[in-house]
Amino acid sequence: MKRKSIYVSPYILIPVIFSGIVVLALIVNYLITSHYLRTGVEHLSPMIWFGAATALVTFALSFQILRIILKPIIRFVKTTEKLPVMTQAPSPDDALRSPDNIEHLHRVLDQVATILGKVEARELFPEIIGQSKVIREVFGQIMKVAPTDATVLISGESGTGKELVATGIYEQSTRRGKPFVKLNCVAIPEGLLESELFGHEKGAFTGAIAQKKGKFELADGGTIFLDEIGDMPLSTQAKLLRVLQERTFERVGGTSPLQVDVRFIAATNKNLPEMVKAGTFREDLFYRINVFSLQLPPLRERREDIPVLVEHFLRSTGKAAQVSTPTMQLLLGYPWPGNVRELQNVIERAAVIAEGTIEPAHLPLYFRNEMKVLGTSEGPENSISLDDRIAQIEKSMIIEAMTRAGGVQIRAAQLLGINQRSLWHRIKKHNIDVPSLKKTTKYVGAATNFEGDA
């Protein structure tokens, strides 16, 4: 006969054990006190001995329980720290690196979670390049909304990868394998946008020589993605709202309603709430598409990803090129108003011109001029305060040093000319994702004597 196993949560078992010890001690204490009161014997000495014995038993029991709980965790941490993929966990004090130090356990386990998150990101979203904390948070949001049929609004500056995110949502959704239809609202002339979306009947307008199915009809059963929806004319917005609400529409020039089942994803680089206030975007449509909002960070807010992106773009060019230290410093310090798309163009152009190592002279002229006048130009960085600008420079220097050092803090501190404790505090202050910076030193050529981890 198979024995049944009963699972009791430690959150219940441990409090019950210690509560039982306390109750048992009170009962025994009451019995001893009652006994000595009846006999008239001084009972202080036995009570002291009993209290000491109770404390000793409680301590031994709690120590054993804690040892049983922490033993596999400590063994896991010791084994994990020996793996090549692990970087040294940031610590201001070597004494805190003891395997049984709770703070050290937290840091190592957080690093393990970070590495697993990166592996998951590479597996689930191979087309989206990035390992920083902020981009992994975006991946987490994608995984939450993808299995649902909720309407998604992706917002972000031009070049941040909105179409890639929309594709990622589709790839992780239950509608994967069914139609995935994309349409850029800016690329279609205003007079033809309705025809593209809803289709048209033969003879509906001049040039309509045959019936044509629209994007919604083609996407039936699957997903439709409308990029740059903020540029859609108001007249078309009203018809789009009806499709989203009723799931029906008519082709241009048609009279028979068509019903569709589509998952809707939209993207924009505009501030839709401000457009609603200005009357250039329908308020009812905004609330209808803003069910689940995804805000993509600009590249300047995830500078830790720049070395990873540079490596990817260099690899895609097929040329054996590397980036010098001064060039990487410029790439990390530039505000990137065109975001990832601009970085890709800059790297691909430089790889064509350079022979082996990409130097600052290989970067576009506008890029070098912008870096020279960054503090006085009317660029994105001009409106920030002096303290914020200094903080950005400091953060870029730390990221560049950590990149050169292969993610090893003590080497990065030597490069910056500061002690390790000071570097640790600055990393915490700027919320720098250290594990994302564990890259090889091929970016810096022969300019560094340090050899990073592969």
Q: How far apart are CA 304 and CA 452, in angstroms?
A: 16
Q: Which of 3, 332, 296 is nearest to 153 (CA)?
A: 296
Beta strands in 263-349, from DSSP E residues, in sequence order: 263-268, 292-295, 322-323
pLDDT at 191: 79
pLDDT of 444:
38
Asked whether the CA dihedral 11, 14, 18, 24 is positive or negative, the reply is: positive
Q: What is the pLDDT of residue 441?
A: 39
Q: Which of 335, 446, 313, 322 is nearest to 395 (CA)?
A: 335
The average confidence (pLDDT) of the chain is 79
**β-strands 152-155, 292-295 pairing:** parallel
**Residue linked to tokens 């949560």:** 9
CA distance 204 to 227: 26
Determine how many CB atoms are found less than 10 A away from the CB of residue 102.
Answer: 10
The residue among 413 and 220 whose pLDDT is bigger is 220
Q: What does the pLDDT read at residue 439?
A: 47
What pLDDT is attached to residue 119? 62
Fold type of domain 133-299 = Rossmann fold (3.40.50)
Please provide the CATH number assigned to the domain covering 302-447. Answer: 1.10.8.60
Q: How far apart are CA 36 and CA 240, in angstroms?
A: 89
In the sheet that 223-227 helps form, which strands lie side by side, from edge to edge? 180-184, 223-227, 263-268, 152-155, 292-295
pLDDT confidence of residue 122: 66
Q: Where are the domains of the chain?
A: 10-81, 133-299, 302-447
Residues 135-153: what's their mean pLDDT? 92
At 255 the pLDDT is 79
Three-class secondary structure of residue 267 per DSSP: strand
The pLDDT value given to residue 183: 94
Between 3-12, 104-113, 150-159, 383-392, the lowest mean confidence (pLDDT) is in 3-12
Contact partners, residue 413, CB within 8 Å, separation at least 6:
419, 420, 422, 423
Tokens of 306: 């720049």
Q: Which residue has the higher pLDDT, 89 or 151?
A: 151
Encode 38-94 in three state secondary structure: HHCCCCHHHHHHHHHHHHHHHHHHHHHHHHHHHHHHHHHHHHHHCCCCCCCCCCCCH
pLDDT confidence of residue 380? 44
pLDDT, position 220: 94
Higher pLDDT, 332 or 207: 332
The pLDDT of residue 445: 37
Question: Based on the number of CB atoms within 10 Å of its own CB, is 219 exposed (0-12), middle (13-18) or buried (19 or more)?
Answer: buried
Query: What does the pLDDT look like over 371-384, one tens digit per residue?
Result: 766 554 444 444 56
Residue 17 contacts residue 61 (beta carbons within 8 Å): yes
What's the confidence (pLDDT) of residue 384?
60
Task: Output the CA torsion sign for 201, 203, 204, 205.
Answer: positive
Q: What is the pLDDT of residues 249-304, one digit of tens each?
A: 888 888 788 999 999 999 999 999 999 999 999 999 999 999 999 999 999 889 88
pLDDT tens-digit readout, 70-115: 777 777 777 776 665 565 544 444 444 555 566 777 777 777 666 6
Percentage of residues in the chain having pLDDT higher than 90: 31
Cβ-in-10-Å burial (0-12, 13-18, 19+) of 39 comes to exposed
At residue 342, the pLDDT reads 93
**pLDDT at residue 10, as a whole number:** 66
H or E stretch at 181? strand 180-184
Which of 27-36, 138-147, 323-332 is modeled with the greatest confidence? 138-147
- Eight-state DSSP code of residue 182: E
Best mean pLDDT range from 21-25, 33-37, 342-346, 402-406: 342-346
Q: Which residues pair with 41 in a beta bridge?
A: none
Query: What band does 3 get if pLDDT is binned at 50, 70 and 90?
Result: low
- CA angle 200-203-205, nearest 5°? 75
> H helices then E strands: how many in the chain?
17, 11
Alpha helices in 354-419 (DSSP H): 365-372, 386-404, 409-416
Q: What is the pLDDT of residue 45?
A: 67
Tell whether pTM > 0.85: no
Whole-number pLDDT of residue 170: 95
Q: What is the pLDDT of residues 227-247, one digit of tens each?
A: 999 999 998 999 999 999 999
Per-residue pLDDT of 411-437, as tens digits, reads 888 888 888 888 888 888 887 877 666
